[in-house]
Amino acid sequence: MDTDAQRVLEYLTTVEEAAEDVLTTKQQIVDLDAKRNSNREALSALRQDMADSEKVKVCFGNMFIKFPKTQTVALVQRDQEQLDKEINDLRKVLKAKVNHLNEIQGKPELRGYSLSPLSSEEIRAVDVLLKR
On the question of pLDDT at 97 being above 70, the answer is: yes
Sequence ranges of the domains in the chain: 2-109
Q: What is the mean pLDDT of residues 86-90?
A: 94
Whole-model pTM? 0.75
How many beta carbons lie within 10 A of that of residue 98, not counting itself?
20
Q: pLDDT tens-digit profile of 14-45? A: 999 999 999 999 999 999 999 999 999 988 98
CB-CB contact of 46 with 12 (8 Å): no
**What would be the CATH architecture of the domain defined by 2-109?**
Orthogonal Bundle (1.10)
Minimal CA–CA distance to 97: which of 28, 26, 29? Answer: 26
Q: What SS3 string covers 2-56?
A: HHHHHHHHHHHHHHHHHHHHHHHHHHHHHHHHHHHHHHHHHHHHHHHHCCCCCEE
| Proportion of the chain above pLDDT 90, given as a percent | 50
How many beta carbons lie within 10 A of that of residue 41, not counting itself?
10
**Band of the pLDDT at 53, cuts 50, 70, 90?**
low
On the question of pLDDT at 1 being above 70, the answer is: no
